[in-house]
Chain A
């Protein structure tokens, strides 16, 4: 398992969001870390279909499982939540 810092994971998450949902004119730094991606207050806005696409891509990219829908909605809500989840799952795996 390759180790990544929180900042590196955060950047990978933002890249993944841009790539998966095809936000062509968005740069990683445009996406706010701790503002809901659903609310319209971030610089991008996603919906529930996008969130499912992200769940599946996060599972593939980071080799993690997000198996309950409530959890998925909470995780996908912000970049920070996704980052924390990925970090936590990898720490669990290492332990």
Chain B
């Protein structure tokens, strides 16, 4: 049996958790909230792409951007590779593991059969660390699983080469260079500035706070997209799932961001960021209330326009409080010397 000595920890979110664990393994002591905040992982978008039958929303940046932005801002370099040939992907993975190099890979979460069945849905952007192999199985450090897991070779290959939107294409990555001196203060400020820009200033009506408002305004249109009441109920339940279940750390990533601000307060020696961290915790609780309200509407079986308008009111409240919050945060970080 060959398992690389790897400190397995659970994390709020798979991408930031996987990157953090890799960085820690390679000697950079950093926490998941710092990785998430420095890479400006918090976001909001509400859209109805033409190829999709239903509107969708996200509460974080695009998959892969945490890795990319963290790398750009800190100078940490990662080796990244996608594959057409699954055999080549497997050979490269094995060769790296044999050199005691843990490898991060993108997978379809559905194939992670160490999770209970109810948790396993097709999401093509689940990141895990592979930390060893033996015979036809691999050892996995998955930030959503409490202990080191095992996965069969064939299953892992299916997960790495699943088809569909955002297909993993065998993507693997691992750090190859960590600068000796990272100006943490500077990159924290860059990360915060980028998040406030994303939430307040992108001139598109479906992004940031404007996106939350669009979500609030348009949720009453959802029955027009649904083929029947059951589909509508399922889609409304997805509000709960996207905010609370799918690796957000709870409250649509707001709790992770609160932890980031708390750590930033210490690094920047700015107690005002501590106050803002506490405010963000309250905001996270409000997103949780929305998640719960959505699940109740979904389960009620009788989804009226009034109930959807009620959800719209709750969503609009989040837009209002986040607009105020991010303006305060922008001002605080702009004034910080």
A and B, one complex?
Answer: yes
- Residues from chain B with a CB closer than 8 A to the CB of A65 are 281
Q: Are B248 and A69 in contact (CB under 8 A)?
A: yes
Q: Are A52 and B144 in contact (CB under 8 A)?
A: no
Chain A residues at the B interface, C-beta cutoff of 8 Å: 47-49, 52-53, 55-56, 59, 65, 67-70, 72, 74
Q: Are A52 and B255 in contact (CB under 8 A)?
A: no
Q: Are A67 and B258 in contact (CB under 8 A)?
A: yes
Question: Of B83-91, B173-181, B289-297, which stretch is located at the interface?
Answer: B289-297
A49-B299, A67-B259, A69-B250 known, 8 other contacts, Cβ within 8 Å: A49-B295, A52-B291, A56-B285, A67-B258, A68-B12, A68-B250, A69-B244, A69-B247
Name the prevailing secondary structure of the B interface residues.
helix
Cα–Cα, bound, A49→B244 (Å): 9
**Contact A68:B288 (CB < 8 A) given known A49-B240, A52-B295:** no
Min CB distance B317 to A, Å, is 16
Cα–Cα, bound, A50→B256 (Å): 22
B 275-329 contacts with A by CB, 8 A: 281, 284-285, 288-289, 291-292, 295, 299
- Residues from chain B with a CB closer than 8 A to the CB of A48 are 240, 244-245
Q: Are B255 and A68 in contact (CB under 8 A)?
A: yes
Min CB distance B98 to A, Å, is 32
Q: Identify A52's interface contact among B249, B256, B292, CB under 8 A.
A: B292
Counting chain B CB atoms within 10 Å of each CB, the highest count among A48, A55, A68, A74 belongs to A68
- Residues from chain B with a CB closer than 8 A to the CB of A59 are 285
Cα–Cα, bound, A59→B282 (Å): 12
Chain B residues at the A interface, C-beta cutoff of 8 Å: 10-12, 118, 144, 146, 240, 244-245, 247-250, 255-256, 258-259, 281, 284-285, 288-289, 291-292, 295, 299
Cα–Cα, bound, A72→B247 (Å): 12
Cα–Cα, bound, A35→B25 (Å): 35
Min CB distance A42 to B, Å, is 15
Q: Are A69 and B291 in contact (CB under 8 A)?
A: no
Min CB distance A61 to B, Å, is 15
Cα–Cα, bound, A47→B117 (Å): 13
Cα–Cα, bound, A18→B291 (Å): 21
Min CB distance A90 to B, Å, is 19
- Residues from chain B with a CB closer than 8 A to the CB of A47 are 118
Q: Are A70 and B12 in contact (CB under 8 A)?
A: yes
Min CB distance A19 to B, Å, is 16
Q: Are A70 and B255 in contact (CB under 8 A)?
A: no
**Nearest B residue (CB) for A53:** B292
- Residues from chain A with a CB closer than 8 A to the CB of B11 are 70
- Residues from chain B with a CB closer than 8 A to the CB of A67 are 250, 255, 258-259, 281, 284
**Nearest B residue (CB) for A70:** B10
Q: Could you list 17 A-B pairs, sorted by A, with CB under 8 Å?
A: A48-B240, A49-B240, A49-B295, A52-B240, A52-B244, A52-B288, A53-B292, A56-B285, A56-B289, A56-B292, A67-B250, A68-B256, A69-B245, A69-B247, A69-B255, A72-B250, A74-B146
